[in-house]
Amino acid sequence: MTRARPLMPDLCVIGAGAGGLTVAAGAAQMGASVVLVEQGEMGGDCLNVGCVPSKALLAAGAAAQAVRDADRFGIGVPDPEIDFAAVMRHVHGVIAEIAPVDSQERFEGLGVTVLRAPARFLDARTVEAGGQRIRARRVVVATGSRPLVPPIPGLETVPVHTNETIFGLTERPPHLLILGGGPIGCELAQGFRRLGSRVTVVEMGVLLGRDDPELTAVVRARLAAEGVDLREGRRADAVSGQAGAIRLRLAGPDDRTETVAGSHLLVAVGRRPVLEGLDLDAAGIAHTARGITVDDGLRTTNRRVYAIGDVTGGPQFTHVAGFHGASVLKSALFRLPVKISATPIPHVTYTDPELAWVGRSEAEVRAMHGDGMRVLRWPYRDNDRARTDRTTEGLVKVVTDRRGRVLGAGVVGRHGGEVLAPWIVAVHRRLKVAALATMVAPYPTLSETTKRAAGSAFTPGLFSPRTRRLVRLLARLG
């Protein structure tokens, strides 16, 4: 029996998540021939078990919390009744509404050949998927990541949820234990708490430890105020029990132990790249446990192969995968130079209040510029829109060099991810704060916090004794 001739497209994309779909759709619409290989669900983690379901769950929790907080506006309503099964139908309904955009049918309509099978490299130029060989001019690996489950004694003996399974629940967890106080752990802790579950978060270090401590303190206070039990500086060193009755033994820095019990366990301690089965060595592609090794243009050690998104071991955000995908299109199709490190990557934790940051941290800027750096702040409590909405928690925080160039900025507060937008441009374009201080912001909006934070750089000089003397002098001159 003769072997079928290999497919010979311009691009072979392995993985139909955010990054892979960006490459496949863009390349096909620009006239390139594309083969897309996906062994799981089209849309990847973001659509099916990540960004979309989590934000839909958070929206339901926010609606419930709005009812509880209505008395702030003189509106008396009873506590909300939570139909958890209906909430989860809402979550999956949102997934279903978005799914056609990422569907196999849509991509085949764009002219993409879609193979639903595992992929592996046979050699430096050949990929095999479902018995079909593919010899593409360029290959893009976009296989993403999956939840990391730590080797805690006893963990394998109890039912464990990750983000891949937690959205399959149809009954509300009476008491949800969460291992990990990062963005996923904090978001879901607040979401489930607002939907009526008791929630305990166990974190080895500090909550949201990669973010600015001044901003994370605001999130920590809100979670505690809403009744989330926060166990920071505690390490889970043993797990026991059974479905509905799970126990964690926690060890603190002083080696004292305590036990917490709950009905369900969610593990949210990190993610690892999906490399299994790819046979990267056969293609001469260097990799480690952290991911595929790439240069600043996202090329692997095999110059015909790119890797993008979570599988590279960099920042694990959907918008990063999309950015990587667009960058690869420039390089693979148009042979234009790409340098991804030149673009600052913002991130947002979608708690309420939201926490967002872009650029260098205060500690990094202080190490670089010492006393020459400046920190600017403007609190939400001094913003009239925040006052009208009774959402005055939070602040805008900006770090600059001595010349006022914006090197980093963060927001913790209502719609923090949206308020961050002009600061992303400022960091990317290396603008000075004067560019934002002189803009006209509509009143009353949260965007005024941006103008006010930037303007605070000039307040000491503008209202100084020297300025008052100048005003008096000019007045005497008529």
- Known binding-site residue numbers for NAD(+): 180-187, 203, 270
What's the full length of the chain, in residues? 478
Q: Report the candidate in 217, 162, 223 with the shortest Cα–Cα distance to residue 190.
A: 223
Instruction: Give CA torsion, residues 38, 43, 47, 48, to 10 deg.
Output: -30
**Residue 19 to residues 43, 53, 407, Cα–Cα distance (Å):** 10, 18, 27
Binding-site sequence positions for FAD:
55, 143-145, 310
Helix (H, G, I), strand (E, B) or coil at 226: coil
For 419-463, give the DSSP string. Answer: HTHHHHHHHHTT-BTHHHHTS---TT-TTHHHHHHHHTTTHHHHT
Using alpha carbons only, give the angle 189, 195, 201 rounded to the nearest 5 degrees.
20
CA–CA separation, 312 and 298 (whole Å): 8
Using alpha carbons only, give the angle 422, 427, 431 rounded to the nearest 5 degrees.
85
Contact between 231 and 203 under an 8 Å Cβ cutoff? The reply is: yes
Binding-site sequence positions:
55, 143-145, 180-187, 203, 270, 310
CA–CA separation, 285 and 425 (whole Å): 35
Token reading at 441: 């912001």
Q: Report the candidate in 165, 393, 141, 404 with the shortest Cα–Cα distance to residue 280.
A: 141
H or E stretch covering 323: helix 318-334
Task: Round the CA-based radius of gyration of the chain to a whole number and report it.
Answer: 25
Q: DSSP strand E in 216-320: where?
A: 229-232, 235-242, 245-251, 257-262, 264-267, 271-273, 287-288, 291-292, 305-307
Q: Which residue has the tokens 């026991």?
A: 240
Q: Which residues on neighbouring strands pair with residue 355, listed in sequence order?
A: 349, 412
CA–CA separation, 298 and 342 (whole Å): 13
Contact between 192 and 176 under an 8 Å Cβ cutoff? The reply is: yes
